[in-house]
Amino acid sequence: MRAFDLRPAVRDTLLYIYHGRQRTRIGFREALDVLCKLLETNPSEFAIVLLREEIESENEQERALWPSLVGKTIGGLGDRAAVFHTEMKVADARGKILFLTRSTFSDSDKGACIYGWSHSDNGSVDARIVSYATGAEARLLVQDYYAPTDDEKRTRKLAAVRHFLDLPSEASAGVWTINFLSGYSSTWLGFTPFATSSGYKRHAAWLHPQVLSMIGTDKRSLGMVFLDYAGVDGVYGAPLGMKHFAVYGKALVRRIIESNF
């Protein structure tokens, strides 16, 4: 299983993947086609796609188009898109994409919508995942504290990550967990913190080694863990692309898989 955090937004009448106001080079359907091809060659695996409308780049008319365009795109995948139900097992998702969206879409009964998402440093243990097909609900534990921009906030981020790594093995059956390691750590001349590429790299280089230590070699459920720089252990960044950040993304993904498996 692989999980992806995709943020489509409408530009004119087409869906592109965005991050904030920044449009990437790939369209929403194009990104899904990449995942579908991977599932064709690896039918025993499945993907979870977490969706959110990136409204910062859209005007009012584009925002009105988003629910239908996203729903029709997902519906166009046919059986490759999974129907969410609260008792679903891995076997129900193999070879498919399960869509969990933080913004409601229309024109499709695939996937589910998340209610009660939290950016608090405490996360939320009372969020809900609601099936588009049946309206059935599952409980969701979620942590997405994304701006630990000083020492105090980094301490709170670390505690939140640790707490939500421990929760899945203690939760009852049917409870889902999403734990975001992602975040940025950056200030500019002492002013209001803002997101930069180096800020994300600096955060990952600080947090990921500690998470590797937290997980250790134990075999336990960790739920869904989202992180930046998954699959690479080192990246370069400012200044002038010369600074090396040891982010341990490849090692961390491997450790999470081994623990969950």
The angle at the Cα of 102, spanning 248 to 40, to the nearest 5 degrees, equals 60
Q: Considering 115, 144, 173, which residue would you say is the last residue of a domain?
A: 115
Same structural domain for residues 257 and 139?
yes
- CA distances to 47, 161, 214, 259 from 217, rounded to whole Å, are 25, 17, 9, 7
pLDDT value for 195: 75
Same structural domain for residues 212 and 237?
yes
Backbone angles phi, psi at 66, to 5 degrees: -55, -50
The answer to whether residue 123 sits within a structural domain is no
Task: Give residue for tokens 């409308």.
Answer: 53
The answer to whether residue 256 sits within a structural domain is yes
Same structural domain for residues 40 and 99?
yes
At residue 252, the 3 state secondary structure works out as helix
Number of domains the chain is built from: 2
Same structural domain for residues 140 and 205?
yes
Distance separating alpha carbons of residues 209 and 258, to the nearest angstrom: 16
Q: Considering 115, 140, 168, which residue would you say is the last residue of a domain?
A: 115
Same structural domain for residues 203 and 78?
no
Residues 6 or more apart whose Cβ sits within 8 Å of residue 48: 1, 2, 3, 4, 97, 98, 100, 224
Same structural domain for residues 68 and 135?
no
The answer to whether residue 120 sits within a structural domain is no
The answer to whether residue 155 sits within a structural domain is yes
pLDDT value for 192: 57
- Written as one letter, the residue type at 245 is F
Q: pLDDT averaged over consecutive 10-residue blocks of the chain (261 residues)?
A: 94 93 94 97 96 94 98 97 94 97 96 97 97 97 94 96 97 95 75 75 96 94 96 88 93 95 83
The answer to whether residue 43 sits within a structural domain is yes
Same structural domain for residues 235 and 136?
yes
The answer to whether residue 124 sits within a structural domain is no
Same structural domain for residues 95 and 150?
no
* Beta pairing partners, 139: 128
Distance separating alpha carbons of residues 248 and 38, to the nearest angstrom: 24
Residues 6 or more apart whose Cβ sits within 8 Å of residue 251: 212, 233
pLDDT value for 91: 94
Q: Considering 62, 87, 115, which residue would you say is the last residue of a domain?
A: 115
Same structural domain for residues 96 and 140?
no
The answer to whether residue 49 sits within a structural domain is yes
Task: Give residue for tokens 């990449």.
Answer: 34
* Beta pairing partners, 111: 83
Same structural domain for residues 135 and 258?
yes
Which of 129, 168, 136 is CA-nearest to residue 50? 129
Same structural domain for residues 100 and 159?
no
pLDDT value for 1: 80
Report which secondary-structure segment, H or E, holds 61.
helix 60-75
Distance separating alpha carbons of residues 257 and 261, to the nearest angstrom: 6
Compute the radius of gyration of the chain from its Cα atoms. 18
Which of 177, 181, 178 is CA-nearest to residue 204? 181
Distance separating alpha carbons of residues 44 and 138, to the nearest angstrom: 24
**CATH value at residue 143:** 3.20.20.190
* Beta strand 14-19 pairing with 22-27: antiparallel
Domain range for 49:
1-115
Number of Cβ within 10 Å of residue 183's Cβ equals 25
The answer to whether residue 63 sits within a structural domain is yes
pLDDT value for 68: 98
pLDDT value for 190: 59
Same structural domain for residues 135 and 201?
yes
Backbone angles phi, psi at 158, to 5 degrees: -60, -45
